[in-house]
Amino acid sequence: MVIADIHGHFDELQRLKREFGYNPIEHQLIYLGDYIDRGPNSCEVVNEIMREVLEEEAIALLGNHERMMLNALTSEQNQNRTNDMLHWLVNGGQKTLDSYKKNGKRAMRSHPGFLATLPLYVESDNYVFVHAGVNPTKKIEDQTEKDLLWIRDEFLNAKDLSTVTNKIVVFGHTPTIAFTGKPEIYIGKDRIGVDTGAGKKLRLSAFDIRSQCSYFVEVGA
């Protein structure tokens, strides 16, 4: 079961799990990154995902918002630190800081270390799971972090991904409404888009790779 771009919407994540009847014995959860920023409960989301990775063998990938947070909190105290902090704050980081202030300092000490260990992509027999997509001109092993965390148009507009992989690429990062006009999971011949706009207060969705079924909940304020 694949979930992308939760963006701090903890309550909606719980509702979504109830929607598809989450059972850790039956479901392999794969999270595609962007757990934080914009929504009200980023700390709770990361805490939940960290627990599931450690206890239930869920898979969690790094997203560009986690990278911004890590850069802001761990870079050296110089001009770069200031720029990294500003970059994060203008992209929703203040909501995340507010969430951590509410939940105490212990989580802020442990969560960055966990997030820094997250992989950029994982593969199964038939799928590549990644946050943003892939650079269509490079093989999967030659992709950079910038490609995998930030790419948009070059990936979305690519006619095919055969140079990269013969597997289907499952991605988040760009809300599907931006390239389909609808906040629904996008299923193409060689790629599947799972970000249905929770960060824009639209929908949080899950996609069942086995059954090809989609589940969603509406996201409130």
CATH code of residue 149: 3.60.21.10
Structural domain count of the chain: 1
Strand arrangement of the beta sheet that strand 191-193 belongs to:
121-123, 127-130, 168-171, 191-193, 186-187
- Say yes or no to pLDDT of 105 above 80: no
- The percentage of residues in the chain with a pLDDT greater than 70, rounded to a whole number, is 97
Q: What is the pLDDT of residue 81?
A: 74
> pTM (2 decimals)?
0.95
Q: Of the candidates 122, 143, 127, 146, which has an alpha carbon nearest to the alpha carbon of residue 64?
A: 146
**Orientation angle between helical segments 64-74 and 79-88, nearest 10 degrees:** 140
- Say yes or no to pLDDT of 16 above 80: yes
Residue 23, class by beta-carbon neighbours within 10 Å (0-12 exposed, 13-18 middle, 19+ buried)?
Answer: exposed
Q: What is the pLDDT of residue 112?
A: 93
**Domain region containing 140:** 2-218
Q: What is the pLDDT of residue 77?
A: 62
- Which SS3 state, helix, strand or coil, does residue 153 take? helix
Q: What is the pLDDT of residue 78?
A: 61
Bridging pattern class, strands 168-171 and 186-187: unpaired
Q: What is the pLDDT of residue 107?
A: 85
Segment 36-63 mean pLDDT: 96
Q: How many CA atoms lie within 13 A of 139 on its CB side?
A: 2
Q: What is the pLDDT of residue 75?
A: 66
- Say yes or no to pLDDT of 28 above 80: yes
pLDDT in tens, 127-144: 999 999 999 999 999 999
Segment 67-74 mean pLDDT: 92
